[in-house]
Amino acid sequence: MPIVQLSDEDRHACEIAFKRIDQNGDGVLDKDEVKHCLAHLSHGAEPSDEEVSQMCKDAGHDMVQGIDMKDFVDLVASAAAAAKSGDQGAASKLASMLHTNLDKVQSLEFVNAAARELWERNHLHHKKADMDYASLSKFTADDEVHCARCHKRYHPKDNADTSCTFHPGKRIQEDSHTMNADTIRFTCCKGVEVGMQHTVAESGGCQKGKHLNNDEFHVWLKENGHR
């Protein structure tokens, strides 16, 4: 089904909603962030990881690279097209929920104080609060790529040997005595961090290298014994 052209008002609503779901402010929605959003829309009834993965898969996203702003707008537009045609079943469940509840998504709470702090830091780094759609189009331009390793956005021409900060070792999740937090131990540097899985992933690393696209990331995983 063709995607309808959203109005400027709807695009602005998508932008605000996307920013609220994007709890760590990295410009990409991961599975944990989508799960938190769906729980909010379901009045606290949190879906399982399997349900979230299936909903994202049905919407055309395997969540390896996540959902960026353009993907998000396209999802809402696909649901708008289905509603306009009267064929609600033509849109994925995820797209329909986002399209129907954009106003509710804009009031999404942060999972914790650490998520709010990280969101604010990243948004100050590469997004203006009053971004208009012309800026949004530039932000999601084809020449800007999502790094599958550190989850930052980058321009391939500016991809230096020290652009990506990451942990080359495996992440081991341990029991934490801190409420709503995970204890993550990194095998590479023996470092330990406490926080939500997706916020810890954005907290930095002990090694630097070039940003990696999805294909390069899978090669890197195999070469470093992660698979």
pLDDT in tens, the chain (227 residues): 455 678 888 888 888 889 888 887 788 899 889 998 999 888 778 888 899 889 998 888 877 788 998 999 999 998 888 888 877 677 788 888 888 888 888 778 776 676 677 666 665 544 444 444 444 444 444 467 888 888 888 888 888 899 898 888 887 776 655 445 567 778 888 877 765 554 445 456 889 999 998 888 888 888 887 65
- From CA 20, how far away is CA 8, in angstroms rounded? 19
- From CA 150, how far away is CA 114, in angstroms rounded? 18
186 DSSP assignment: E
**Which pLDDT value is given to residue 127?**
47
How many Cβ atoms are within 10 Å of 156's Cβ, its own excluded?
Answer: 11
pLDDT tens for residues 9-18? Answer: 888 888 888 9
**Which pLDDT value is given to residue 210?**
92
pLDDT tens for residues 71-103? Answer: 999 999 988 888 888 776 777 888 888 888 888
Those residues with Cβ within 8 angstroms of residue 73's Cβ, 6 or more apart along the chain or in another chain: 6, 11, 14, 18
225 DSSP assignment: T
pLDDT tens for residues 59-73? Answer: 888 777 889 989 999
- From CA 98, how far away is CA 86, in angstroms rounded? 17
- From CA 76, how far away is CA 102, in angstroms rounded? 9
CA geometry: angle at 127 spanning 123 and 131, to 5°?
130
59 DSSP assignment: T
**Which pLDDT value is given to residue 141?**
47
How many Cβ atoms are within 10 Å of 14's Cβ, its own excluded?
Answer: 24
**Which pLDDT value is given to residue 209?**
92
